A = this chain, B = another copy of it.
Amino acid sequence: MNSRFFTFVGGNLGIWKVVSTETLIGDPLPEVSRLDIVSGSKIHPDLHAGWVLRGITSNERYVVGEEKSELLAKQQCLGRPEATCAALIPIRKNAEWWVLTQDERRFILEENSKHIKIGLRYLPAIARRLHHCRDLSENEPFDFLTWFEFAPAHHAEFNGLVAELRATEEWKYVAREIDIRLVRE
């Protein structure tokens, strides 16, 4: 099965141990000790989950031709043996963002905020998979779940990446953001 659908289960099970949970803006999530990432939407019914977040990988919405080639050339797979650090960052953008047209959103995201360019600078050290939630149903708690994996040696670089992004114009449209750091055990 090559599924596009992933379920992130925060609870007391899974190979990823939660190291910290920081709520940057908006409502927090219950604190949990472990994260299980399930391919598909079937989760074990008696799992003691603190929270369950679902997302689906999709076509790219903003990347244009040259950026795609550069991304494809540099990006790494998830599951590299040395990448024992991870972060799950669920984000919700505000209503102002979603009423913008496609070109207005692209302008803020890239021409102004350099989101794609910033991300490219941290490749290949940091692997990333973006999951969309907004259109799964009418009432998802977040719009995006981004999952990052990197080696312990690249910890400071990862902090640089998220700090750069949080300082952009685009981040003024972020209404909820939680930064969950994990290590593989």
Taking beta carbons and an 8 Å cutoff, which residues of A are in contact with B?
3-5, 40-41, 56, 58-65, 67-68, 98-104, 106, 132, 134-138
Contact = CB atoms under 8 A, between A and B. Distances in A.
Nearest to A132: B135
Given A63-B102, A67-B101, 19 more contacts: A3-B138, A4-B138, A5-B137, A40-B138, A41-B137, A56-B137, A56-B138, A58-B134, A58-B135, A59-B99, A60-B102, A61-B61, A62-B102, A65-B104, A68-B101, A132-B135, A135-B135, A135-B136, A136-B137
Contact of A65 (B3, B60, B62, B101): B101
Contact of A61 (B102, B134, B137): B102
